[in-house]
């Protein structure tokens, strides 16, 4: 994978996804310590972030590398009117790998076309968030020892949530059953549903948590992506539509594990945090080994 950009999960075969998961698990056991020595990561965040940016930076530092970048585009030359491609052509000369988050769908692909170093997409608008998916899959593999055979539900804003777009597409490479639960206005995009169905993946679409009538192994909860609504009234109509609490978990069965890419707004009660069903903070912590694996692979530090 040396020199390769990570833009969309669509660019990865099932074998490649499995290889990344396996390497991340080996990294978490201490393999390749110090492998990113002498490497420089540039983090370009045009949109807010806590976990993605800090875990990329933490991953780099933990493996001996260094980090430059900005967490707020208003302090970059974008503010002066510089184009994204000029910014990328410049930064490409300062680093070995770029991690970028941007509001515009397709921006990461564009950046990878003008950069001479690998570009890792840390989220492009409502489109894709591939590295979140890799850490989600690492978490699932750790928890269940496998991905095949699992029943995975996704709940919340399936229209604007890039994490669920990436996760659903990646999971459709495995033998899983998917349950999508969203208000009618926030359903999974038709094009994504078609891709998933085209791979023969079994799925159902529901609008209420109470409609889930089969046990789930994973319920992946997402927040309503307020910043992506053009119309505030449309947001108000769906805000607070779902809330996971102990009663809901009880109705989903003892086997269920609750995941969430975070940040949470109000869709999971804080009382759930201490439940053995809640694995979302462990999931967030898997950002470090997963991103270590990805940085190592694309820079060639992990062969
Ligand atoms: C997600 C994102 O930015 O898409 N956050 C993350 O990276 N963990 C989810 C979200 O913002 O809701």
Q: What is the mean pLDDT of each run of 10 residues along the chain (303 residues)?
A: 98 98 97 97 96 98 97 88 95 98 97 98 97 98 98 98 98 98 97 97 97 95 95 91 94 96 97 97 98 98 96
Distance 58 CA to ligand 1 centre (A): 17
The residues facing 69 across adjacent strands are: 43
Q: What is the pLDDT of residue 79?
A: 86
Q: What is the pLDDT of residue 103?
A: 95
Which residues line ligand 1 at a C-beta cut-off of 6 Å? Answer: 51-52, 123, 129, 132, 162-163, 222-223, 225, 261-263
The residues facing 231 across adjacent strands are: none
Is the pTM higher than 0.85?
yes
3-state SS, residue 186: helix
3-state SS, residue 221: strand
Task: Let me know: does 150 contact 127? Beta carbons within 8 Å.
Answer: no
Q: What is the pLDDT of residue 76?
A: 87
Strand order of the sheet with strand 40-45? 66-70, 40-45, 97-102, 119-124
Pocket test for ligand 1, best of 225, 239, 263 (most atoms within 8 A of CB): 263
Q: What is the pLDDT of residue 75?
A: 85
Distance 277 CA to ligand 1 centre (A): 21
Distance 161 CA to ligand 1 centre (A): 8
- Positions marked catalytic: 51-52, 80, 101, 129
Spatial separation of the C-alpha atoms in residues 147 and 216, rounded to whole Å = 13
3-state SS, residue 244: strand
3-state SS, residue 264: coil
Question: Which residue has the least CA distance to atom 7 on ligand 1?
Answer: 52
Task: Let me know: does 163 contact 129? Beta carbons within 8 Å.
Answer: yes
């Amino acid at each position: 994978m040396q020199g390769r950009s990570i833009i969309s999960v669509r660019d990865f075969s099932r074998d490649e996804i499995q290889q990344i998961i396996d390497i991340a698990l080996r990294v978490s056991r201490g393999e390749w310590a110090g492998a990113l020595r002498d490497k420089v990561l540039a983090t370009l965040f045009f949109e807010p972030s806590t976990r993605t940016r800090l875990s990329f930076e933490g991953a780099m530092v933990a493996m001996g590398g260094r980090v430059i970048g900005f967490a707020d585009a208003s302090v970059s030359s974008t503010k002066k009117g510089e184009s994204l491609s000029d910014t990328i052509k410049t930064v490409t000369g300062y680093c070995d790998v770029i991690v970028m988050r941007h509001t515009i769908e397709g921006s990461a692909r564009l950046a990878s076309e003008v950069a001479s170093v690998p570009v890792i997409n840390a989220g492009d608008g409502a489109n894709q968030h591939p590295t979140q998916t890799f850490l989600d899959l690492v978490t699932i593999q750790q928890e269940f020892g496998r991905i095949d055979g699992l029943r995975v539900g996704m709940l919340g804003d399936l229209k604007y949530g890039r994490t669920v777009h990436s996760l659903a597409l990646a999971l459709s490479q495995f033998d899983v059953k998917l349950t999508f639960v969203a208000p009618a206005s926030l359903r999974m995009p038709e094009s994504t549903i078609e891709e998933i169905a085209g791979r023969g993946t079994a799925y159902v679409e529901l609008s209420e948590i109470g409609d889930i009538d089969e046990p789930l192994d994973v319920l992946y909860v997402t927040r309503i992506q307020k910043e992506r609504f053009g119309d505030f009234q449309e947001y108000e109509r769906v805000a607070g539509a779902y809330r996971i609490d102990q009663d809901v978990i009880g109705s989903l069965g003892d086997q269920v594990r609750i995941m969430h890419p975070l940040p949470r707004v109000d869709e999971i009660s804080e009382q759930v945090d201490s439940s053995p069903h809640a694995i979302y903070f462990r999931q967030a912590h898997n950002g470090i080994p997963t991103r270590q694996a990805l940085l190592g692979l694309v820079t060639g530090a992990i062969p």
